[in-house]
């Protein structure tokens, strides 16, 4: 790489891939106009306009500027525009409440904030305690007519903001600002979701984030002609860092306007590469297997035969072993009858998928692998930009998160905690010196995760230290493992394993209500409320049989001895999950303490 700053990187990409498509969008359910692709040259022209507009508003190097919006091309354009004037982008999850957003705005003393729509604008604009440092709000979505979304001066619609940068007389100042950029400058502050306590602002430099490029180059082959579906929140380091890499390689980033429409998006966009969290793969796996339940015995046999053939064929290819004519012919038949249909669900062939953020069951990895779809699971944190380890197309092992990336040292502490030293590790937490000091001991970053290396150097993640269950019988139980096993079930949407200082494991389960209500109707069950539905003896017995089935994959001391079906999903608004969909276990256990006690 001949650049040390992300704004320099995008300038070089714009020159190298000028006519290649850089940005596009998929609108679910036909909403919105389809503007078509934006080329690298046009993308950079818009970034320059944003940079000039920021200069005209008096933005200084180091100023914190927020982005409070769902994924869209404007999100990325503004992100690069902020970086081009050497200010610091601070993302806020679009799903955050006013109080959550205000905490970040206040702590960072944000001067400008880009918001997605009028609803997000109202959350901040009408706040009587709005930070005095926050001078201007800029709204991406202007609505059908400007009068429908009146703004308070000096706040602006995005079109008005862009007009401030239309005059090119500030180009010299923009170029001069960037000429002084360095790799150790702060590139962003990303607030962790905070499963416990208040969120912490992770400070990442350009050098931190660009180290990820070094880890990916040579291991993953991405370039012009490739398409990535951008559906995880850009406010999270995983999708954001990956999107930076997409633009480094000259590939095309497709923005999904509705993350719930990811399957439809994949089928329409046909991405060749993309990153995701395990839940997407779990749902596809569960739906495919559920579809067999109503099929004939022959259909089930054909399905499992095809998966067996596909797995054997792909494994021989991976290990460079002879395949033979017989297996080749079987593979062709299996692919035509079954495996190609699995690939069609996700939009066709892929160079690779990536998975991170939570454990993924090996059975699901093997299912996709048999269909010719490789999921390269990795491990990382916001504090590590994010990647620490990853499987690659040339070196992968199911049930692991891969080997450490280049220049990254990983060791396991005496208590099993994963410790990291890497050029990608954060400089610390913004304005939280005590939290920073606690996270680093003797130069090693303490991740809070528990893991182990196998004899080939592949890392397995066990759980979070704070989440580990120690039963009254003294058994150490990793709740994430139990929840990962249960996630394979089509009828289970969320699960929370419980049992610390208890005599056995119990689980709170949120059903997949769409699937459950369809099943209940088919059984002639009537209900007025979801509470009545989950309390129905037939439904309880139905879930008992499913839990008993999956408990066979668990050790005796891990097996679920009691469960309760919840009548509503865990939500961010209710305080039970974080913006990145991680469970706040303490909040869940406090809210449902009466149900937990009843299971014991």
pLDDT tens for residues 83-114? 999 999 999 999 898 888 999 999 999 999 99
Q: Given this model, what pLDDT does residue 440 score?
A: 96
Weakest mean pLDDT among 66-75, 126-135, 451-460, 520-529: 126-135
Weakest mean pLDDT among 123-127, 171-175, 449-453: 123-127
- Binned at pLDDT 50, 70 and 90, residue 144 comes out as low
Q: What is the mean pLDDT of the chain?
A: 93
How does strand 38-39 pair with strand 21-26?
antiparallel
**Main-chain phi, psi angles of 444, to 5 degrees:** -100, 135
- Binned at pLDDT 50, 70 and 90, residue 135 comes out as very high
- Pair 201, 58: CB distance under 8 Å: no
Report the distance separating Cα 383 and Cα 192, nearest Å. 9
Query: 152-161 long-range CB contacts below 8 Å, 24 or more apart?
Result: 152/125, 155/121, 155/125, 158/74, 158/114, 161/50, 161/53
Q: What is the mean pLDDT of residues 39-58?
A: 98
Q: What is the mean pLDDT of residues 262-274?
A: 96
- Among 123-132, 141-150, 229-238, which range has the highest average pLDDT? 229-238
Report whether pLDDT(142) > 80: no
Q: How many CB atoms within 10 Å of residue 531? A: 13
- Pair 304, 310: CB distance under 8 Å: no
- Binned at pLDDT 50, 70 and 90, residue 545 comes out as very high
Q: Given this model, what pLDDT does residue 197 score?
A: 65
- Reference 266, options 342, 341, 347, 368; nearest CA is 347
Report the distance separating Cα 184 and Cα 182, nearest Å. 6
Q: What is the mean pLDDT of residues 299-310?
A: 95
Q: Given this model, what pLDDT does residue 126 score?
A: 82
Report whether pLDDT(494) > 90: yes
- Under 8 Å CB-to-CB from 496, ≥6 apart: which residues? 479, 483, 507, 508, 570, 583, 585, 588, 589
**Main-chain phi, psi angles of 194, to 5 degrees:** 75, 80
pLDDT tens per residue across span 353-367: 999 988 899 999 999
CA distances from residue 183 to 4, 16, 180, 187, 209 in whole angstroms, order as listed? 5, 22, 10, 9, 10
Q: Given this model, what pLDDT does residue 365 score?
A: 97
How does strand 444-453 pair with strand 459-464?
antiparallel
- Binned at pLDDT 50, 70 and 90, residue 483 comes out as very high
Report whether pLDDT(24) > 90: yes
Count of all residues that appear for the chain in the document:
600
- Binned at pLDDT 50, 70 and 90, residue 139 comes out as very high
CA distances from residue 100 to 68, 119, 134, 168, 318 in whole angstroms, order as listed? 11, 15, 16, 38, 47
pLDDT tens per residue across span 156-212: 999 999 999 998 999 999 999 999 999 999 999 999 866 556 789 999 999 999 999
Q: How many CB atoms within 10 Å of residue 555? A: 11
Kindly list the structural domains of the chain, giving each domain's residue range(s) and its CATH number in brackets, ordered by start: 6-222 (3.40.50.980), 279-464 (3.40.50.12780), 468-598 (3.30.300.30)
Report whether pLDDT(433) > 80: yes
């Amino acid at each position: 790489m001949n650049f040390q700053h992300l704004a320099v990187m995008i300038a070089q990409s714009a020159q190298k891939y000028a006519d290649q498509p850089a940005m596009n969008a998929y609108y679910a359910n036909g909403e919105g106009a389809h503007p078509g692709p934006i080329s690298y040259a046009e993308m950079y022209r818009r970034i320059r306009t944003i940079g000039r507009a920021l200069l005209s508003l008096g933005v200084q190097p180091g100023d914190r500027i927020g982005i409070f919006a769902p994924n869209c091309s404007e999100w990325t354009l503004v992100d690069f525009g902020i970086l081009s004037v050497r200010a610091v982008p601070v993302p806020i999850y679009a799903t955050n409440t006013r109080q959550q957003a205000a905490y970040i705005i206040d702590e960072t003393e944000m001067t400008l904030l880009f918001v997605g729509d009028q609803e997000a604008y109202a959350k901040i604009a009408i706040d009587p305690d709005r930070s005095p440092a926050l001078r201007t709000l800029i709204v991406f979505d202007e609505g059908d007519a400007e009068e429908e979304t009146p703004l308070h001066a000096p706040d602006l619609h995005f079109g008005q903001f862009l007009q401030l940068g239309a005059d090119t007389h500030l180009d010299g100042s923009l170029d001069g600002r960037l000429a002084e950029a360095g790799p150790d400058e702060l590139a962003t502050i990303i607030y962790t979701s905070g499963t416990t306590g208040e969120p912490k602002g992770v400070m990442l430099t350009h050098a931190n984030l660009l180290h990820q490029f070094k880890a990916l180059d040579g291991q993953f082959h991405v370039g012009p002609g490739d398409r990535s579906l951008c559906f995880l929140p850009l406010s999270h380091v995983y999708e954001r860092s990956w999107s930076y890499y997409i633009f480094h390689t000259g590939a095309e980033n497709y923005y999904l306007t509705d993350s719930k429409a990811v399957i439809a998006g994949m089928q329409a966009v046909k991405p060749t590469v993309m990153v995701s969290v395990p839940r997407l793969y779990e749902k596809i796996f569960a739906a495919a297997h559920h579809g067999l339940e109503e099929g004939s015995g022959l259909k089930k046999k054909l399905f499992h035969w095809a998966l067996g053939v596909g797995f054997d064929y792909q494994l021989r290819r991976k290990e460079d072993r002879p395949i033979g004519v017989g297996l080749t012919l079987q593979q062709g038949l299996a692919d035509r009858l079954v495996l190609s249909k699995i690939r069609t669900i996700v939009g066709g062939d892929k160079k690779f998928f990536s998975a991170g953020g939570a454990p993924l069951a090996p059975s699901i990895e093997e299912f996709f692998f048999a269909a010719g779809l490789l999921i390269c699971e990795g491990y990382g944190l916001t504090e590590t930009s994010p990647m620490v380890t990853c499987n690659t197309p040339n070196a992968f092992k199911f049930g692991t998160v891969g080997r450490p990336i280049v220049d990254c040292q990983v060791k396991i502490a005496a208590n099993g905690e994963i410790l990291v030293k890497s050029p990608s590790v954060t400089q610390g937490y913004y304005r939280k010196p005590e939290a920073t000091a606690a996270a680093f001991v003797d130069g090693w970053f303490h991740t809070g995760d528990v893991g182990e290396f196998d004899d080939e150097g592949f890392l397995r993640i066990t759980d979070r230290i704070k989440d580990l269950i120690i039963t009254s019988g003294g058994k150490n139980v990793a709740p994430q493992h139990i929840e990962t096993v249960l996630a394979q079930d089509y009828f289970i949407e969320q699960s929370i394993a419980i049992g610390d200082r208890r005599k056995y494991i119990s689980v709170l389960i949120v059903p997949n209500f769409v699937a459950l209500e369809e099943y209940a109707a088919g059984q002639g069950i009537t209900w007025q409320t979801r509470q009545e539905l989950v309390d129905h003896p037939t439904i309880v017995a139905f879930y008992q049989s499913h839990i008993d089935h999956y408990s066979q994959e668990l050790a005796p001391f891990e097996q679920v001895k009691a469960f309760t079906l919840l009548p509503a999903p865990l939500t961010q608004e209710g305080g039970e999950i974080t913006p990145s969909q991680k469970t706040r276990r303490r909040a869940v256990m406090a809210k449902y303490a009466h149900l937990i006690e009843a299971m014991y």
